[in-house]
């Protein structure tokens, strides 16, 4: 689904990605982890074409993204911070995204799943952060694409909505979708991820299953395993 070779990106004197290589097969949930400044956001933005790498290649679905601008139609993206005009109503925003994307979609099941019916006529500026995140989840999941990139999808969600999000993610795995997820919530990783990709200083320090991560660090859970890696790096 995603092939990355020798990816480099520098911002001024800061080398953010350094020779990064990654091959993600179709299907499964990949959690991209790492401390702040490890290159997670830059990697995602490179895949989306929002940041141009200095060197290296990225292919999505077998096509080099530099030669195939239409590749983005195969991706649904949930940004960590989504910004929309506050005077728009929720229903208007959903209709606008449907019109812009020009893909068939039925948001009604997701609106019901995340209990957004009472908010459809409300302006975005009047919504809480958690409700805004549920709107963003509907906008992301309502399109049927092979690849989903979710940047901190749990932000602001109440426990019930978090359960529904995990149910949705598990359902998508069963459908053979590929999900690339960044998060700082290790319990969430443990509950949904098939593999962990741990970035450190722009390089992949670890890539493998949750069991492999625990075995490597001698820890019983993902939270302590990741902490062990981080502490080892700073010894």
> So what's the pLDDT on residue 158?
93
Name the pTM for this structure. 0.90
Residue 235 has pLDDT above 80, yes or no: no
Domain presence at residue 33: yes
Domain presence at residue 29: yes
Per-residue model confidence as pLDDT tens digits over 81-131:
778 888 999 999 999 999 988 788 899 999 999 999 999 999 999 999 999
* Residue 195 or residue 68, greater confidence: 195
Domain presence at residue 199: yes
Domain presence at residue 89: no
Domain presence at residue 208: yes
What is the arithmetic mean of pLDDT over 144-153? 94
What mean pLDDT value characterizes the chain? Answer: 91
Which pLDDT band holds residue 234 (cuts at 50, 70, 90)? very low
Angle ∠(55,200,59) on CA atoms, nearest 5: 35
> So what's the pLDDT on residue 201?
85
Q: How many domains does the chain have?
A: 1
Domain presence at residue 177: yes
What CATH number is attached to the domain comprising 225?
Answer: 3.40.50.300
> So what's the pLDDT on residue 232?
62
Domain presence at residue 57: yes
List the domain range (segments joined by +) for residue 199. 2-81+147-233
Residue 153 has pLDDT above 90, yes or no: yes
Domain presence at residue 75: yes
> So what's the pLDDT on residue 198?
93
What share of the chain has pLDDT > 90, as a percent? 68
């Amino acid at each position: 689904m995603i092939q990355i070779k020798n990816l480099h990106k520098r911002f001024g004197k800061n080398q953010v990605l350094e020779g990064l290589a990654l091959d993600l097969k179709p299907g499964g949930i990949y959690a991209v982890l790492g401390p702040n400044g490890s290159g997670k956001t830059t990697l995602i933005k490179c895949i989306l074409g929002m940041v141009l790498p200095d060197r290296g290649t990225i292919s999505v679905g077998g096509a080099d993204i530099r030669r195939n601008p239409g590749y983005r139609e195969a991706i649904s993206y949930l940004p960590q911070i989504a910004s929309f005009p506050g005077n728009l109503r929720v229903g208007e925003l959903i209709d606008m995204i449907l019109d812009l994307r020009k893909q068939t979609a039925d948001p009604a099941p997701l609106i019901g799943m995340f209990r957004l019916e009472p908010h459809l006529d409300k302006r975005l500026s009047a919504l809480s952060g958690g409700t805004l995140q549920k709107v963003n989840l509907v906008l992301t999941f309502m399109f049927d694409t092979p690849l989903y990139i979710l940047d901190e999808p749990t932000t602001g969600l109440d426990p019930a909505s978090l359960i529904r999000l995990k149910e949705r993610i598990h359902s998508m795995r069963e459908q053979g979708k590929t999900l690339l997820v960044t998060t700082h919530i290790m319990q969430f990783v443990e509950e949904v991820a098939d593999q962990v990709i741990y970035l450190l200083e722009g390089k992949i320090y670890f890539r493998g299953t949750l069991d492999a991560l625990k075995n490597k660090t001698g820890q019983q859970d993902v939270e302590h395993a990741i902490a062990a890696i981080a502490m080892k790096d700073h010894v």
